[in-house]
Amino acid sequence: MYNKQMSEGAAPAAAASGGVARWSLGLEQLLADPAGAAAFAHFLSKEFAAENIRFWWSCEQYSATEDAAKRAALANEIWQRHLAEGASEPVNVDAAARRAAALRLYQEPSPVDLFQQAQKQIFNVMKFDSYPRFLRSAEHAECARADLRGLPSPFLTATTAATTGGTDGAASPSAKLKKSASNASERRRSGGASLLPWKLRAPSRDRGHHP
Provide the residue ranges of all domains of the chain, joining segments of one domain with +: 28-206
What pLDDT score does 2 carry?
A: 56
Inter-residue contact 173 to 40 (CB < 8 Å): no
More confident residue, 181 or 37: 37
What is the percentage of the chain residues whose pLDDT exceeds 70? 66
What pLDDT score does 157 carry?
A: 76
**Distance, CA of 33 to CA of 17 (rounded, Å):** 12
Architecture, CATH, for domain 28-206 = Orthogonal Bundle (1.10)
Dihedral sign computed on CA atoms, order 46, 41, 160, 121? positive
Dihedral sign computed on CA atoms, order 195, 130, 128, 85? positive
How many other CB atoms are found less than 10 A from the CB of residue 145? Answer: 12
Q: What is the mean pLDDT of residues 127-145?
A: 98
**Per residue in 81-130, pLDDT tens?**
999 999 999 999 999 999 999 999 999 999 999 999 999 999 999 999 99
Label residue 18 by pLDDT band (50, 70, 90). low
**Per residue in 181-200, pLDDT tens?**
333 333 333 333 344 443 44
